[in-house]
């Protein structure tokens, strides 16, 4: 049992990071912190992809004499795309936060909500 837990330590770590990020998104009222949480959440997925690409005793996937077993390079490529997407999302999110700050004068969710209600 212990061996099972220890043997999958990377997955446990991923789950912890994922939940931490997810929790931040849900619980924080500060719009920037939400974006930060979203980033942490996405990072856990990057780690997941990198984890699954690892092949036991596999070498770095660069062709070399005498090496027969490589790690799978495809997830690396995939996650590169996802990282790019993540960066774009973050940029767009932060841009929106700036606009919200200009329009409302605050980036706290509750304050914004109150301002909209009072209209």
Partner 1 sequence: MIENHLSLLIVVLPLLAAPIVAVLPNGRMPWSISTLVSWAVFAMACIQLINVSTGSVISYELGGWAPPWGIEYRIDAANALVALIVSGIAAVTLPYALKSVEQEIPKHQHSLFYAAFMLCFTGLLGITLTGDIFNLFVFLEISSLSSYALISLGKQRQALTASYQYLIMGTIGATFFIIGVGLLYAMTGTLNMMDLSQRLPELYEHRTIHTAFAFIMVGFALKLALFPLHLWLPNAYTYAPTVVTVFLAATATKVAVYVMLRVIFSVFGFTFIEDTPTDELFMILCVVGILMMSFYAIYQQDAKRLLAYSSVAQIGYMMLGIGIGSALGITATLVHLFNHALMKGALFMAIGAIVYQIGSSRIEHMQGLGKHMPWTFAAIVIGGLSLIGVPGTAGFISKWYLVLAAIEKQHWLIVIVILAGSLLAVIYVWKLVEVLYFKPADESGQTVSNQLTSRKEAPLMLLIPTWILVVANVYFGFNTELTVGTAEQAVKLLLPSMN
Q: Which is nearer to partner 1, 43 or 59 (CB)?
A: 43
Q: Looking at residues 7 to 66 of the shown chain, list those that interact with partner 1 (rule: CB under 8 A).
A: 22, 25, 31, 34, 38, 41-42, 45, 48-49, 52
Q: Which is nearer to partner 1, 5 or 78 (CB)?
A: 78
CA-CA distance, 75 to 46, in Å (whole number)?
Answer: 9
Q: Does 70 contact partner 1 by CB under 8 A?
A: no
Provide the 3-class DSSP secondary structure of residue 60.
coil
Q: Which is nearer to partner 1, 59 or 106 (CB)?
A: 106
CB of 45 to partner 1, least distance (A): 6
State the number of binding residues for partner 1 (CB under 8 A): 29
Cα→Cα distances 22→14, 33, 44, 93, 101, Å: 12, 11, 10, 16, 24
CA-CA distance, 107 to 99, in Å (whole number)?
Answer: 10
Closest CA to 36 of 25, 47, 46: 25
Length of the chain: 119
Which residues of the chain form contacts with partner 1 (CB under 8 A)? 22, 25, 31, 34, 38, 41-42, 45, 48-49, 52, 74-75, 78, 81-82, 85, 88-89, 92-93, 96-97, 99-100, 103-104, 112, 116
């Amino acid at each position: 049992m212990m061996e099972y837990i220890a043997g999958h330590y990377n997955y446990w770590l991923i789950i912890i990071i994922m939940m931490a990020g997810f929790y931040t998104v849900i619980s924080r009222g500060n719009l920037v912190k939400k974006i930060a949480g979203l980033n942490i959440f996405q990072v856990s997925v990057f780690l997941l992809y990198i984890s699954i690409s690892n092949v036991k005793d596999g070498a770095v996937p660069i062709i070399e004499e005498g090496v027969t077993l490589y790690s799978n390079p495809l997830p690396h490529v995939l996650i590169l795309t996802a990282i790019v997407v993540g960066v774009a999302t973050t940029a767009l999110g932060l841009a929106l936060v700036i606009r919200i700050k200009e329009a409302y004068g605050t980036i706290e969710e509750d304050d914004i909500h109150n301002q909209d209600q009072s209209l």
